[in-house]
Amino acid sequence: MSEKSIFKIIITIISIVIVFFMLKYFFLTDKTLETGYTSLVNTNSTCITCHTPMSGFSKAHAPDKITCTSCHLGNNSSLDKEKAHQNMLTVPGNLSNASQTCAKCHQGIDVRVKNSLMNTMSGIISVDKYVFGENDNLDSLFNIHHLKNKTKAENHLRNKCASCHIGNEKENSHPITQQSRGGGCTACHLNYSEKGKIAHQKYIDSKKSHLTKIHPSLSLNITDNHCFGCHSRSGRIATNYMGWHETVYKDTLQNNPNYWMLDDKRIFEKKQEDIHHTKGLSCVDCHNANEVMGDGNLYAHQEDAVSVSCVDCHFNFEVKTILFDDLLPSEKRIVRLKKIDTLVSFIRASKSDKTLLNVIREGNINYLITKNSNQKLQLTPPSNNCIKNAHKNVSCSSCHTSWSPQCISCHTSFDANEDGFDLLSKTWKMGKWIEQGSDYLAEFPTLGVVEKNGQKTINTVAPGMIMHLKNDTINTNFHRLFAPVSAHTISSKGQNCKTCHNNPVALGYGRGKLEFTKNGIWKFTPLYELEQDGLPKDAWIPFLKEYTSSKSTRKNTRAFTVSEQQKILTVGSCLTCHKENSTVVKSILNDYQKAFENRSNECVEHS
Domain residues of the chain, as ranges? 1-29, 111-231, 393-605
In the 8-state DSSP scheme, what is residue 370?
-
Model pLDDT, residue 251: 81
CB 46 within 8 A of CB 52: no
- What is the per-residue DSSP string for 552-585? BSSTTEEPPPHHHHHHHHHHHHHHTTS-TTSHHH
Residue 26: per-residue pLDDT: 44
Q: Is 330 exposed, middle or buried (0-12, 13-18, 19+ CB in 10 A)?
A: exposed
Contact (CB, 8 A) for 29 and 41? yes
SS3 479: strand
CB atoms within 10 A of CB 332: 16
* Angle (CA) 593 598 602, round 5°: 120
Whether 67 and 76 have beta carbons less than 8 Å apart is answered as: yes
Which distant-in-sequence residues (6+ apart) come within 8 Å of 355 by Cβ? Answer: 322, 327, 328, 331, 346, 347, 348, 349
- pTM recorded for the entire structure: 0.89
Cα(366)–Cα(455) distance, integer angstroms: 29
Enumerate residues 6+ apart whose C-beta is below 8 A from 16.
Answer: none
209 Cβ neighbours under 8 A, 6+ residues apart: none
Picking from 163, 231, 505, 254, the residue whose alpha carbon sits closest to that of residue 246 is: 231
Query: Can you give the pLDDT at residue 550?
Result: 67
- Bridge partner list, 32: 38
Directed axis angle between helix 583-590 and helix 562-575, to 10°?
Answer: 150
Instruction: Identify the segments of the chain with pLDDT beneath 50.
Output: 24-42, 606-607
The contacts of residue 591 (CB under 8 Å, 6+ apart) are: 389
User: Residue 31: its pLDDT value, please?
Assistant: 37
Cα torsion 427, 114, 485, 591 to 10°: value is 170
Collect all residues with Cβ–Cβ distance below 8 Å to 318 and sequence separation of at least 6.
Answer: none
Crossing angle of the two packed helices 152-160 and 122-131, in degrees rounded to 10:
130
The answer to whether residues 61 and 50 touch, using CB atoms and an 8 Å cutoff, is no
- In this predicted structure, what is the pLDDT of residue 45? 66
Q: In whole angstroms, give the CA distance from residue 518 to residue 507.
A: 21
- Alpha-carbon dihedral of residues 290, 291, 294, 295, nearest 10 degrees? 40
Distances, alpha carbon 473 to alpha carbons 155, 221, 416, 417, in Å:
13, 49, 11, 14
Phi and psi at residue 408, in whole multiples of 5°?
-110, 10
pLDDT of residue 330: 87
Query: Quick check: 408 and 340 in contact, CB under 8 A?
Result: no
Helices (H), 97-218: 109-115, 117-120, 122-131, 152-160, 186-189, 194-205
Question: What H or E segment, with its residue span, contains residue 326?
Answer: none
Given a contact cutoff of 8 angstroms between Cβ atoms, the answer to whether 189 and 219 are in contact is yes
Q: Within 10 A of 394 (CB to CB), how many other CB atoms are there?
A: 17
Return d(Cα 232, Cα 212) in angstroms, integer. 31
Phi, psi angle pair for 586, to nearest 5° = -65, -35
In terms of Cα–Cα distance, which of 20, 2, 76 is closest to 44? 76
Alpha-carbon separation of residue 117 from 182, 285, 465 (angstroms): 13, 19, 21
Compute the half-sphere exposure of residue 477: CA atoms within 13 Å on the CB side of its CA: 14
551 vs 599: CA distance, rounded Å: 37
- Give CA–CA dist 249/112, Å, rounded: 40
Distance CA 463, CA 95 (A): 33
Q: What letter does residue 536 receive in the DSSP assignment?
A: B
Tell me, rounded to whole angstroms, the distance of Cα 353 from its chain centroid.
21
